[in-house]
Amino acid sequence: MTKLSVNINKIATLRNARGGNNPDVLKVALDCERFGAEGITVHPRPDERHIRRSDVYALRPAISTEFNIEGYPSQEFIDLVLKVKPHQVTLVPDAPDQLTSNAGWDTKTHFSFLSDLMETFSNAGIRTSIFVGTDKELIEYAAKTGADRVELYTEPYATLYPENPEEAIAPFVEAAKLVRSLGMGLNAGHDLSLENLKYMHDNIPWLDEVSIGHALICDALYLGLEKTIEEYKKCLR
């Protein structure tokens, strides 16, 4: 069964816009779990424009499902992850000032760097995942680093899906088959929504986890958080 991990960054963005603690990031995370989410994802950036490091420390002991921390592995990020020890760390190649993730790792070029990180996190008992595109060689290099999983960067799929679903999903199915043949776990995320999630899951039913934030929080403005999580989980059945 594919797990739904809710990325709560946008909740923190809304809170930070006015200061104070409304909405309460911790309460929303616990409500997401109560409404059926099987995980919570956060992406603490260096400028703390949404999730703050203090949020990460507060969330870890409270989360009863899976806690996934994603981000660029700066020394500050590495230290945070090793102190908090989430269930999973997802490494993304974001620049510090980047608005949002827009590419997967070049795992061939950064092979030594990533391999050392996989060993560091694995020794701490943290499951590892590397954010990648659908390039088969780069997926093979991700496997060679010792990563437990890869997370497929799905924005290209989401962009093409309204025009041509079959063409949009094709490279992701081939990438997913390769990941499975390499004995790795498979996650997916970025721009997945109620419009395109079911089709992806129908074609790649062995997905371990999808991480969804922006679209899910936008839908919740209309449907409410509980109903929205229910609708996303329907797509994964």
Catalytic residue flag (residue 43): yes
Q: Which of 33, 66, 151, 190 is catalytic?
A: 190
Q: Which of 33, 50, 66, 70 is catalytic?
A: 70
What single-letter DSSP state applies at residue 205? T
121: left (phi over 0), alpha (psi -120 to 50) or beta: alpha
What single-letter DSSP state applies at residue 104? -
- End-to-end C-alpha distance for the chain, whole angstroms: 7
- 43 sits in which H/E element: none
Q: Which of 43, 151, 201, 209 is catalytic?
A: 43
- Structure tokens given for 103: 């590419």
Query: How far is the C-alpha of 5 from the C-alpha of 15, rounded, in Å?
Result: 20
Residue 43: which of 75, 91, 84 has the closest Cα?
A: 91
Q: Give me the active site residues, please.
A: 43, 70, 190
